[in-house]
A and B are shown apart, each in its own frame.
Chain A
Amino acid sequence: MKKIRVLIAKPGLDGHDRGAKVVARALRDAGMEVIYTGIQKTPEDIVEAAIQEDVDAVGLSILSGAHMTLFPRVTKLLRKRGMGDVLVVGGGIIPPKDALELKKAGVAEVFGPGTPLNTIVDFIEKNVGKKPDVAG
């Protein structure tokens, strides 16, 4: 039986991971296997972990405002390593204009603060394994 595996990471330098942990628990309670990697991970570490854990999705949480560099770096590295089919979602305070840019860069969805946990769970359940692996 195939189980959905999700990596939850918190790139960047700020040390608050409350939100990330809440999401991690919600995904676990929905029957997924959640690999939680903790705070202050570099995009390189995150992608390497995603490969070794063979995850279906990566959830990135970020508050520090560095999302426009960190998120695209992760999606780009994933594609480069042949993991372009991994679903990437983000969470944090992200202005709508930036969210659009991020979607163009391969982030499937961004969830602002206060998004119901159900919405995030449903989105991941519906969208994993749907993305074609485009090399880049």
Chain B
Amino acid sequence: MSLVEGLRNGDKRAVAKLISLIEDGDAAATAAIREIYSMTGKAHVVGVSGPPGTGKSTLIFRLAQEFRKRGKKVGIIAVDPTSPISGGALLGDRVRMGDLASDEGVFIRSMGTRGRLGGVSAATSDAINVLDAYGSDIIFVETAGAGQTDVEVSDLVHTTVVVVMPGVGDEVQALKAGLFEVAHIFVVNKADLGDADRVASDLSIMLELGEQGDWTPPVLTAVALRGEAEKEVADFLEEHLTHLRESGRMEEKKRRRAEKELMIAISESVLERSLALSSGRSFMSFVDEVLEKRMSPREAAIRLLEESHSGD
């Protein structure tokens, strides 16, 4: 049985193997994605971002339990940074997710950011597609507060939840660069440990000062550890989805996601092509041209590309 058939039959092993092919940049993944792509677009995709250690995994665990109670099938993708030096990664988000994995209606996958040509969002985007085609009603994507990654991933999701906690200095200030603007729901977690209300009111003031859209992000305080938050957060997630649909924003979002996916695919193809070129025969002669200052690098690149195209 092929992996795609397996996925259609609800086989978790097939789903897992498909995601591995994607992560490994295997050519078989391209074919599989083409086959399942028309089955995607049904899931509510939720990004959960924020600084390290604020309780994102704990909150996702609680939210997954809550959505299971509401009869939904849940997918979880937890992205953690790959060490640029060793290429390895320690993926620890499952620690907080208890025995969720054994629930038939939950699928959890940990991913390293690795160094795929199209960047972090390339593999993440395809993994979302796999879990979507598999029939997940809601997919959580946890990113490790690595700034750029979080913002990049926000283009791939419908709703972004930003989790912060009190007691790490100026939490709000730290968020302002990027994440703040893409958040739809703020959660000030670990309210048992510090002055969450102060952080929440700082956030609210910042929001009032900012641009007013047609969705005002709620600012919630939470103790995810004790399971005091998930109902409220889940309600707001559903409300945001309804808002997207009724305001026509969903169509915009889908278009933006399609644009993003196409851009990722283009840049991956171009990069693959340029890697191939760099090992080709004429590359070295162009290097000589640049070395001898007979051509600028840009000029050499254009000529090299023209040459390779005419050879197609």
Contact = CB atoms under 8 A, between A and B. Distances in A.
Given A52-B101, A52-B107, A36 B19 contact: no
A53 B87 CA distance: 18
Interface stretch (A20-28, A87-95, A98-106): A20-28
Size bin of chain B's contact surface:
20 to 34
A34 B13 contact: no
Interface string A27-60: 1111111111110011011001101111000000
Contact of B94 (A5, A49, A81, A83): A49
B94 A35 contact: yes
Contacts of B12: 51-52
A83 B88 contact: no
A30 B102 CA distance: 30
A38 B114 CA distance: 23
A54 B20 contact: yes
B95 A34 contact: no
Interface residues of A, number: 31
Nearest to B109: A52
Contacts of B9: none
A41 to B, nearest CB: 8
B19 A2 contact: no
Contact of A38 (B16, B94, B109): B94
B231 interface: no
Interface of A: 1-3, 5, 24-25, 27-38, 41-42, 44-45, 48-49, 51-54, 81-83
